[in-house]
Structure formats: C-alpha cells, structure tokens
Structure 1
Amino acid sequence: MGIKERIAGEIMLYRENNARLKIEISELEAKVDTKKQEFLNVESDMEESDSIFEILADRQRRMGIEPPERD
C-alpha cells in the first residue's frame, strides 16, 4: 500500500468517526433537552403541589384543624 492509499484510508476513517461522533453528540443533546424538560415539568409540579398544600392547609384552618407541618 502506497502512502497516498494509506492517507486516503486514514481520511476515510476520520470522516467515518467524525460522522459517528456527530450522531452521538446529537443523541446526547436530545437526551439533555429531554432531561431539561423533565426537570421543568417536575419544578412546575412542585409549584402546583405547594399551592395545593396551601389551599388544603387554609381549608383545614377554616375547619379548626391545625394542618401538619411540611418539610
């Protein structure tokens, strides 16, 4: 195998690896985006949970019941 063929082979390997890495990066970016959205959804659910807890605590107080302490 001559030097030109060897260099051409190395270039092909480089391009294949580069393409594979770009795909892997895209997949990882998609996973990060999914995790970010999951975090935002959980954060939103926690805010809703807090407001629901406050509503229930207010109702309990109006009924003369002391609501339990929340962690």
Structure 2
Amino acid sequence: MKILRVNRLRSSILSGDISQIGKFNVIERMVNLNADNKRMWFEKIININRNKMIKSMPLSMNYHTI
C-alpha cells in the first residue's frame, strides 16, 4: 500500500535532509491482512483484490478471561 507522508522538521534535521522539510514523499507500507485477532477467520486473507467473502466470527471476550 502506498501512502503520502510529509517530511517533518525533526526527522529531516536528524537525517541531514534539511532541504526536504515539508515536502511529500510516497512511502510503501506493508499491511498484515490477517492482523485482526478479535475475530476467528475461517480462511486466511491472501489478496484484497479477490472478490471473495471470507466468513468470520467474533471472539467472545468472556470466554478468554476464564
């Protein structure tokens, strides 16, 4: 997933890129598609572009506290 991030004052000074302060950069961020731990998924999500509905069930918090 690609996102736009602006270079902040502190991070630009620390990295020595003072000319890049306030400029936008495209950064690629990795996303864990299977990071939702509060649901029980019946299959792993492999690709978000697949038009397939994957069934899931919420985990009861009372069940895990016993």
Q: TM-score, normalised by structure 1?
A: 0.20
Larger radius of gyration: 1
Higher-helix-fraction structure? 1
Q: TM-score, normalised by structure 2?
A: 0.20
Whose relative contact order is higher, 1 or 2, with alpha carbons under 8 Å and at least 6 apart?
A: 2
